[in-house]
Amino acid sequence: MAYTTRRERCPLGAVETWIFDLDNTLYPASCRLFDQVQRRMTAFICERLSLSPEEAAELRRTYFREHGTTLRGLMTNDAIDPHEFLAFVHDIDLACVPPDPALAAALKELGGRKIVHTNGSVGHAQRLLDHLGLSDAFCGIVDIVAADFDPKPALPGYRLLLQRHAVAAQTALMIEDIARNLAPAAALGMTTAWVRNGLDWAAAEADSDYIHHVVDDLAGFLAAAAALQSGDDSRKPAAP
């Protein structure tokens, strides 16, 4: 089954704006692309703060837990230039991420606007979307720079997205692989969908009431939503 609905807010067929996280959401975590980013973060910290690789890796994890992103911790505690950091850590090889024709087809068929909301940079997002063949499906990207480096789940980025793109929260749905990042979206009135990926830290709080759908197959979830929009009963999923 592509997804499970826990509770109904805005029906899938009535969603007008689809908001997507990027990393480990629009491609599977099993590609391990983000492992490259983490290694680049560790290397950056080693060089700039004169730490051993072990010390740098531990600091990276600590800052992620305490500040939402490693970057935010480095900015707050170590006065690191965020633009330099982002350029360095996103200089990665995308070859491990295969295009997903089913996802591309589902996004093309799905009605409504699609926007990326990421704790990464616009450059990283656009490069990945181009690599995946998904760029034409999206009308906007709200990144960590636009949010003044205040990462999800901090509210400013979510509010900025709603304002910048004139999104009505009650007819918007946000899709994320990190469950806790959906709490602000739900608080603002959005419907939420958590993409299950097997990462324990991403699953924290996944049993919360603010999770409305649990997704195991993003392409299937979006295809089912497109079927609901079109009223094609033959393509709707069976009830959980």
Q: Which two tokens stand for residue 25?
A: 């959401």
63: nearest Cα among 96, 89, 26, 25? 89
Residue type, 188: L
Question: What pLDDT tens digit does each residue of the chain (240 aa) get?
Answer: 899 999 989 999 999 999 999 999 999 999 999 899 999 999 999 999 999 999 999 999 999 999 989 999 999 999 999 999 999 999 999 999 999 999 999 999 999 999 999 999 999 999 999 999 999 999 999 999 999 999 999 999 999 999 999 999 999 999 999 999 999 999 999 999 999 988 888 999 999 999 999 999 999 999 999 999 998 654 444 444
Cα distance between residue 215 and residue 110, in whole Å: 16
Q: Which two tokens stand for residue 34?
A: 């983000």
**3-state secondary structure at position 126:** helix
Residue type, 48: R
237: which DSSP letter?
A: P
**What domains, with CATH codes, occur in the chain?**
3-27+99-235 (3.40.50.1000), 33-89 (1.10.150.450)
Cα distance between residue 95 and residue 105, in whole Å: 21
The pTM of the full predicted model, rounded to 2 decimals, is: 0.92
**153 prior amide bond cis, ω within 30:** yes
Q: Which two tokens stand for residue 190?
A: 């959005």
Asked if 237 and 13 count as a contact pair (C-beta separation under 8 A), the reply is no
Asked if 183 and 191 count as a contact pair (C-beta separation under 8 A), the reply is no
